[in-house]
């Protein structure tokens, strides 16, 4: 049953015993800039180097974010003994190769979502990290937000009863451009890998791996999935209904319905947000939960950076909140959905 007092989130608070790691960034683009700002402003972690194929880009990024060293190749960064962990923010088509090179160099890796373009690539990276004894983790920041902790506690306590339905949606209006990475299949473009992955991982958090995936959608002229509607089925008769698109802005909300109660996430559900929780009976009072921390928007990328440092300090080689086998499973779901959409 729904508790009268909602659980307090277990936070990845900086300065709570995690080691101060020395970070290198590969791929000085927009999301790397948001990550660098979050690390510098809200963690004890250190940014020591950034690498790009363009030394000019790396230098400009280093200057903007106060990073000591700018490099014109990934190999130079990986050869540095003063880099403990590499944040990979290249186009997703390069995630696997860059992660494998970093792991071979003995570095921990935080790979921006999607971890890789396919589940097969993810298995390669996971196997390499496990063999090398380094930590590999997908940059699925939603798993480390305060609301994710509250949700995990409620699910573990059975507050919703038996979960029967998960709904999640993520759509953004991305203007078509032949050079835009989301419209280029060779760069791992498309709605599912970039946006829909948030909905798929949300369903996975609640229900695990589906027993059946049914997907319908539309393709762009350039050959990537423009939109997708997914029905995920589970052995206990639960279903997840998921939607994603790069053709229109959508509510980006999510909800979980069980036999004892419902949780609704305000949009965008994958960002720091608010929850409303109510019992299943019609007319039940609604409880509201708000993130008690000051981190909003991409400042909340700090949580995953501190989480990684804590996991390294604990001697872990993967995240206990987003294990590599689950990362692979999520990509298996996306592989299946993408293939069905492409086949029409």
95-149 pLDDT tens trace: 999 999 999 999 999 999 999 999 999 999 999 999 999 999 999 999 999 999 9
State how far the alpha carbon of 215 is from the alpha carbons of 92, 191, 228, 269, 339, in Å.
Answer: 22, 13, 7, 22, 9
Give the global pTM.
0.96
On the question of pLDDT at 223 being above 90, the answer is yes
Task: Place 285 in a pLDDT band, splitting at 50, 70 and 90.
Answer: confident
On the question of pLDDT at 156 being above 80, the answer is yes
Give the pLDDT confidence score for residue 284 in this predicted structure: 84
Give the pLDDT confidence score for residue 3 in this predicted structure: 80
On the question of pLDDT at 1 being above 80, the answer is no
Instruction: Give the mean pLDDT of 194-208.
Output: 98
Residue 329 has which token pair? 């499973």
* Torsion, Cα of 184, 185, 189, 190 (10° steps): 110
**Residue 157: closest CA among 336, 327, 6, 308:** 6
All domains of the chain in start order, with CATH: 22-142 (3.40.50.720), 150-297+323-343 (3.30.360.10)
Give the pLDDT confidence score for residue 191 in this predicted structure: 97
Give the pLDDT confidence score for residue 121 in this predicted structure: 98
Return the beta strands (E) in the chain as ranges.
Answer: 22-26, 46-51, 69-71, 85-88, 108-112, 136-139, 163-171, 212-219, 225-233, 239-245, 254-258, 261-265, 275-279, 286-289
Distance CA(225)–CA(218), nearest Å, equals: 6
Is 107 tagged catalytic? no
Instruction: Give the mean pLDDT of 323-342.
Output: 98
Is residue 195 classed as helix, strand or coil in its secondary structure? helix
Give the pLDDT confidence score for residue 300 in this predicted structure: 98
CA atoms within 13 A on the CB side of 116: 24
Give the pLDDT confidence score for residue 323 in this predicted structure: 97
Instruction: Give the mean pLDDT of 38-42.
Output: 97
**Residue 311: closest CA among 188, 129, 158:** 129
Distance CA(110)–CA(126), nearest Å, equals: 12
On the question of pLDDT at 198 being above 80, the answer is yes
Give the pLDDT confidence score for residue 39 in this predicted structure: 97
Distance CA(311)–CA(22), nearest Å, equals: 15
Give the pLDDT confidence score for residue 194 in this predicted structure: 96
Instruction: Give the mean pLDDT of 23-52.
Output: 97
Cα angle: 296, vertex 299, 300; to 5 degrees: 70
**Residue 159: closest CA among 238, 263, 237:** 263
Give the pLDDT confidence score for residue 147 in this predicted structure: 97
Instruction: Give the mean pLDDT of 164-180.
Output: 92
Q: Which of 65, 95, 107, 113 is catalytic?
A: 113
53-107 pLDDT tens trace: 999 999 999 999 999 999 999 999 999 999 999 999 999 999 999 999 999 999 9
Task: Place 4 in a pLDDT band, splitting at 50, 70 and 90.
Answer: confident
Give the pLDDT confidence score for residue 23 in this predicted structure: 98
pLDDT: which is higher, 175 or 283: 175
């Amino acid at each position: 049953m729904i508790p009268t007092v909602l659980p307090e989130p277990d936070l990845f608070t900086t300065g709570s015993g995690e080691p101060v790691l020395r970070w290198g960034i590969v791929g000085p683009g927009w999301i790397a800039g948001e990550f660098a700002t979050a690390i510098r402003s809200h963690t004890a972690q250190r940014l020591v180097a950034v690498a790009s194929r363009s030394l000019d880009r790396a230098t400009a990024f280093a200057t903007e974010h106060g990073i000591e060293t700018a490099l014109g190749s990934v190999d130079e960064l990986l050869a540095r003994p003063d880099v403990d962990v590499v944040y990979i923010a290249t186009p997703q088509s390069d995630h696997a190769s860059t992660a494998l090179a970093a792991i071979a160099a003995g570095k921990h890796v935080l790979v921006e979502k999607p971890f890789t373009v396919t589940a097969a690539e993810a298995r390669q990276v996971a196997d390499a990290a496990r063999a090398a004894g380094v930590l590999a983790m997908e940059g699925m920041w939603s798993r480390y937000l305060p609301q994710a902790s509250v949700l995990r506690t409620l699910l573990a306590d059975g507050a919703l009863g038996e979960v029967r339905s998960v709904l999640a949606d993520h759509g953004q209006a991305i203007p078509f451009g032949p050079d835009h990475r989301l419209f280029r299949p060779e760069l791992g473009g498309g709605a599912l890998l970039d946006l829909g992955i948030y909905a798929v991982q949300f369903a996975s958090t609640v229900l695990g791996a589906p027993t059946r995936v049914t997907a319908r959608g539309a393709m762009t002229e350039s050959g990537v999935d423009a939109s997708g509607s997914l029905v995920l089925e589970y052995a206990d008769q639960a279903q997840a209904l998921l939607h994603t698109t790069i053709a229109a802005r959508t509510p980006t909300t999510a909800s979980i319905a069980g036999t004892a109660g419902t949780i609704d996430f305000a949009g965008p559900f994958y960002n720091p947000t608010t929850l409303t929780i109510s019992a299943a009976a019609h007319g039940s009072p609604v409880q509201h939960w708000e993130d008690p921390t000051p981190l909003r928007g991409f400042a909340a990328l700090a949580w995953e950076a501190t989480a990684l440092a804590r996991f390294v300090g604990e001697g872990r080689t993967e995240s206990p909140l987003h294990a590599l086998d689950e990362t692979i499973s999520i990509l298996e779901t996306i592989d299946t959905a993408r293939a069905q959409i492409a086949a029409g």
